[in-house]
Amino acid sequence: MKPIKIGLLGLGTVGGGVVTVLTRNAHEIARRAGREVVISHAAAKEYDAGAIQGLDQVGRITDDGFAAVDDPEVEIIIELIGGYSPAKEMVLRAIDNGKHVITANKAMIAVHGNEIFRAAQEKGVIVAFEAAVAGGIPIIKAIREGLVANRIQWAAGIINGTGNFILTEMRDKGRDFTGVLKGAQELGYAEADPTFDVEGIDAAHKLTIMGSIAFGIPLQFDRTYTEGISKIEQQDVVYADELGYRIKHLGITRRTDAGIELRVHPTLIPARRLIANVDGVMNAVLVQGDAVGPTLYYGAGAGSLPTASSVVADVIDVVRALTTDPGNRVPHLAFQPGALSDLPVLDMEDIHTAYYLRMQAVDQPGVMSSVTTILGDLGISIEAIIQKEPEAGAGHVPVIMLTQRVQERNMNKAIRQIEALDTIAGNVHRIRVETLD
């Protein structure tokens, strides 16, 4: 049987890893897939030939991605150039040419996935994207296939290693956000422009995909609430620890009677939870199904070989499915295309969660009474309060509160009213709290 020929777009960190894995494990892959798999055409503008093991086994290398996409010998295109354009154009051209596509491009899938999957459905080809979420962790396959018998209730994940590294360093070494970010950039964990990582955009791309697969809704990146970690202060990390919590940057998607939650933001989690103890650059996703209960998936969320592991797993799945009738293949978004739900994605003000509040209050009697009256009038119950002793000469003291679950709309009203008090200085700092029960 003839080998399956691959066209590889991109020879960067992940592309180089794919070359290494496909060539180093070629015999094992052929045994699993039932066919030999070879890279017959790779395309890259720039690459470090000396750093890629197995590059000598690639058929040919050009600098034109469209040439690989149009190569008649290529049956599967692996897109690893990232970004929206020209990745989207290359993928759509590959689909139009009748080629199957594998990608690690979460931004492209989150924003343009609906269009791409429609085109693939019409052409009867597969678009696989396991590596787009959580790197080497097979979370797409777990939700889409391993938990297919379940009605997924919610999923919550640490799905950006850079943000998790920063929060871990802030807790373990007592450093502030700016200092840790600079260190992360020096170590190569954070980009020169870290916006996508620290402001939650990268995690929101991934959560959009997870939510769609978990609940059978169209991809809706523009409806995903996104908040980063740049406003987390060292004192918040310390107070959270005193209260028995850890701060993690979570992506959370949940099915409710009113619709689907899609939200990325810093979150206090009880320290006893396994996911609260996932540190450094590692990722973890917790999924709750009605039949299986809670399941936790942990591993490397990025990196050359871990991400290549997911890409090559998709290659094997596609090769296995080449002789399968398109109507009998695993659907791109887990549910049959005609069975996607029109459940609404909730506005952030409609979600219910608990809250950590930190404020600077004038050190005088009656201040806390005014704050608690505002909370009580809006139906917000207090779970715990920490009031620090004032430093010598300081006119304000930090007050930290944990509330019980409440609708965000009411909490927003309360915060506005508290900040308007003459006895409260500056803004009220809010971090959402989830017990993940």
Tracing tokens 């469209």 back to the chain, one arrives at 66
Nearest to 307 by CA among 18, 108, 5, 2: 18
Nearest to 87 by CA among 71, 108, 110, 111: 108
Provide the pairing of β-strand 100-103 with 127-128.
parallel
Beta-carbon contacts of residue 295 (< 8 Å; ≥ 6 apart):
142, 147, 286, 287, 288, 289
Whole-number CA gyration radius for the chain: 24
**Residues recorded for the chain:** 437
Beta-carbon contacts of residue 236 (< 8 Å; ≥ 6 apart):
247, 356, 358, 429, 431
Q: Which secondary structure element, helix H or strand E, spans residue 300, and what is its range?
A: strand 293-300
What is the DSSP code string of 135-204? TTS-HHHIIIIITTTS-EEEEEEE--HHHHHHHHHHHHH---HHHHHHHHHHHTSS-SS-HHHHTSHHHH
Active site residues: 206
CA 165 to each of CA 170, 176, 226: distance values in angstroms, whole numbers, following the listed order? 9, 13, 19
